[in-house]
Amino acid sequence: PQNDWPGGFVEGALLATIAHEFKHAIQYADNRWSGGVGDQDWLEMDAAMMEETVYDDVNDYYNYLASNSIFSSPAQATPVAYSHVTWMLYFAEQYGESFWVEVWTEVAQNRNLTMLDAMAMVLQRRKTDSSTASQVAQNAAQQGVSKLQQDHTQNHLWHAGSLAGALDPLWTPSSSEGSYGFEESAFYPKATFTSSISTQTFPEGGFLGSISSWAANTVQLTPPPTADPTQGVLVRLSTQNGSASMGVGLLARFKDGRQKELFRKVSNEVSTTLVPGWSWADLSDLTMVVVNTTFTSPTGVSSAKTLTGIEWLVDAVYLPERGLLLPYPNPFAQQVSIPFYLNAPSEVSITVFDVTGRRVAELRKNQSYSDGFQSIEWKPEGLASGVYFVRLTGEGFRDVKPVTLQRNRQ
């Protein structure tokens, strides 16, 4: 197959093969190809990544991406031999090549580990300061899993975002204009979306298929050319399976060349709403990934946890010059996000009242914020279920939004 080695395809293929097979030998020395990591899919993905690590200029691994990759088939769960090599490259680019050295060190010490368990352990160790490790040991495993779930969502957004450059008429594979995510994203395939829509009016929405553990569905939306500057992005998702963990990632590509991400982890909930504070009039396109991040340690991915009945809705919400946006989720059981928008740097206070007018929480007092979209979290303690009112005040303005606390019944 073709590759980019200056010495020719044959020599390039030989170099890639040497790196690939040498990595298999290292794997065998580490765990004798046993346990969960001994699965062929993981072994081949790892060896394919080694081709790029050792001989960066060969790029023979591009051939693995032609079909059956995350770019073309995000609904196919990781791992998949060869073609999911970029899933592993994400971690090498995010955390350095030493990340995978540490993962295989864990595997060599405990051959019963799954690949995902080993990765979660390394992520947690990197996150935890050694001086406080004993204090967080009890929660360390879950914290590592949570970070891995977040990375898995961003990983899929990197893949889905590879179309961002191709949407630009000035984009060419030899330029970095419009690139996002991977270092070599300009040379990767265009992403295939579960749903791709050029909308003329809001709201827009539909249903996604069932999503297996460690797989995703993707949506790409182009806003109407006549979108009003006061129309902000609102995304709402619901699922029939609240026991599965869902990660949501948004990539906004702005007309001025900026790109912004937003991530949300959804666990034990059946719906979620995101209001990032972006104006539809400023966007050239919006990419969304909905990822099944269900993970059961120490067995790894749980095939029984499938996201089903996923309904998505994209709408326009009014963006005030200064004021609160819609809190989410609403109703909420434990924690609610309180977003607000400022058209200039301001000093604000945020207070919560009950229906009698009694102040129950002072979240911020005379705190300075820059202009643009802001958000804080409120996790009420000792309050009963009911309607509460969030008040945002600043010099010359005040805004109030209701939120509903709905405690889970025991």
Structure confidence at residue 303 (pLDDT): 52
| Fold of domain 320-409 | Immunoglobulin-like (2.60.40)
Output the pLDDT for position 329: 83
Burial class (CB in 10 A: 0-12, 13-18, 19+), 29: exposed
Tokens of 392: 């945002």
The pLDDT value given to residue 137 = 43
Sequence-ordered list of residues with C-beta below 8 angstroms from that of 65, at least 6 positions apart, any chain: 71, 83, 85, 86, 188, 189
Cα dist from 111 to 45, 125, 163, 297, 328, whole Å: 18, 19, 39, 15, 43
Nearest-angstrom CA–CA distance, 181 and 90:
8
Tens place of pLDDT per residue across the chain (410 aa): 899 999 999 999 999 999 999 999 999 999 999 988 999 999 999 999 999 999 999 999 999 998 899 999 999 999 999 999 999 999 999 999 999 999 999 999 999 889 999 999 999 998 764 434 434 444 555 677 889 999 999 999 999 998 544 444 443 444 444 568 999 988 898 899 999 999 888 999 999 989 998 999 999 999 998 888 888 998 989 888 767 889 999 999 999 888 999 998 887 667 788 888 899 999 999 999 999 998 765 545 555 588 888 999 999 988 888 999 888 888 898 889 898 988 889 999 999 999 999 999 999 999 999 887 788 999 999 999 999 999 999 999 999 999 999 987 65
- For the chain, the distance separating the N- and C-terminal CA atoms, rounded to the nearest angstrom, is 61
Position 135 scores a pLDDT of: 40
Q: Write b or e for each residue in 153-172: b if 16 or more Cβ atoms lie within 10 A of its Cβ, otherwise e.
A: bbbbbbbbbbbbbeeeeebe
Query: Is there a contact between 74 and 160 (Cβ–Cβ < 8 Å)?
Result: yes
Could you give the angle at the alpha carbon of 161 between the alpha carbons of 79 and 68, nearest 5°? 35
45: CB partners within 8 A, 6+ apart: 79, 80, 81, 82, 84, 85, 87, 88
d(CA 121, CA 382): 35
- Cis before 173 (ω within 30): no
Cα 377 to Cα 30, 46, 241, 269, 340: the distances in Å are: 44, 39, 25, 17, 12
Tell me how far the alpha carbon of residue 74 is from its chain's centroid.
Answer: 13
DSSP state of 55: -
> Does 193-319 match 320-409 in CATH topology?
no
- Distance, CA of 384 to CA of 402 (rounded, Å): 15
Give the predicted TM-score (pTM) of the model.
Answer: 0.83
Coil, strand, or helix at residue 280? helix
Which 8-state DSSP code applies to residue 58?
T
The residues, ordered by sequence, that sit 6+ positions from 18 with a Cβ below 8 Å of its Cβ are none
- One of 3.40.50.300, 3.40.1160.10, 2.60.120.510, 2.115.10.20 is the CATH number of 193-319, namely 2.60.120.510
Domain coordinates of the chain in residue numbers?
9-140, 193-319, 320-409
Burial class (CB in 10 A: 0-12, 13-18, 19+), 132: exposed
**What number of helices (H) and strands (E) belong to the chain?**
7, 18
Query: What's the token pair of residue 124?
Result: 């947690």
Q: Which of 256, 123, 239 is nearest to 178 (CA)?
A: 256
